[in-house]
Amino acid sequence: MSDVPKISVIIPTIEEESVFSMIKKVRRLLGGETEIIIVDKSSKAYFMRLKKAGVRAIRQKDKGVENAIMLGLKKASGELLVSIDADGTHELEGMARGINAVRSGKADMVLGNRLAGLSEGSMSPYLRFGNIVLTSLFDIVYRSGVHDVLTGLFVMRRDAFLKIRDVKPYRAGIAFFAIELAKQGCTIGEVDIKYYPRKEGRSKLAKSKLMYGIGVASHILFK
Ligand SMILES: Nc1nc2c(ncn2[C@@H]2O[C@H](COP(=O)(O)OP(=O)(O)OP(=O)(O)O)[C@@H](O)[C@H]2O)c(=O)[nH]1
Ligand SMILES: [Mg+2]
């Protein structure tokens, strides 16, 4: 089916056990043609396990999830570029809906809106509040109307990505990609997804979510 655009799925990992079942499910959902690129900052042993899983595994030398995703995007060959967290918290069927949304022209970038589908224990009231504040700031500045700019799931078109591929990532997670695309005049949309509690391991993103949030706010306002 040559009219079906190729999809690349980029997954940033630090020692996430859930990724191994995710890989299988992504293949079942999107088909064997889908390129899966894992940008990893784990132990050597974990990296070897990734290689055995038959995905394209890249070792990250620098730090930060934004740099990891940027590296994966640069290596990807798909027309549709997806990124999803490796901890099994984001609904994979939601990823498939996001792909369909971008493919049908809903927006240049589609975010997975977790707030529409929070399951019990998946997001503390504190983080939910912080997310709402930061996303409101984003909506005021960029008039996008989305609900969850700190999500761990996005889908974007390759031609949109090419506009920001030379921007040096700053510490804002997926909001970095949304801010930079919005600055380029790209449209940002969303699909509602389910969000599950993390089953294994600990949060890898930031030691202090408060400091992280303040940093994201300053990037939204001043970048
Ligand atoms: N390669 C790479 N992956 C990262 C880095 N920081 C976080 N990750 C991965 O990015 C994803 C998001 O990180 P999480 O630790 O789940 O962050 P979070 O969702 O805010 O935290 P939880 O609510 O505890 O899940 C996970 O797949 C992590 O393994 C990094 O510096 N490099
Ligand atoms: Mg997580």
pLDDT digits (tens, 9 = 90+) for 84-121: 999 999 999 999 999 999 999 999 999 999 999 999 99
Instruction: Look at residue 1 and tell me if it is in a domain.
Output: no
* pTM for the predicted model, two decimal places: 0.96
Residue to mutate (ligand 1; options 65, 70, 115; most atoms within 8 A of CB): 65
- pLDDT category at 33 given cuts 50, 70, 90 is confident
Q: Residue 76: how many CA atoms within 13 Å on its side-chain side?
A: 33
Nearest atom in ligand 1 to 60's CA: 1
Residue to mutate (ligand 1; options 204, 208, 212; most atoms within 8 A of CB): 204
The boundaries of the domain holding residue 125 are 7-222
Instruction: Look at residue 125 and tell me if it is in a domain.
Output: yes
CATH number of the domain at 53, please: 3.90.550.10
Rg (CA), the chain: 16
Amino acid at 25: K
Nearest atom in ligand 1 to 19's CA: 27
Our count of domains for the chain comes to: 1
Residues in Cβ contact with 175 at an 8 Å cutoff, skipping those fewer than 6 apart: 134, 138, 149, 150, 216, 219, 220
Ligand 2: centre distance to CA 52 (Å): 24
Whether 2 shows a pLDDT value over 60: the answer reads: no
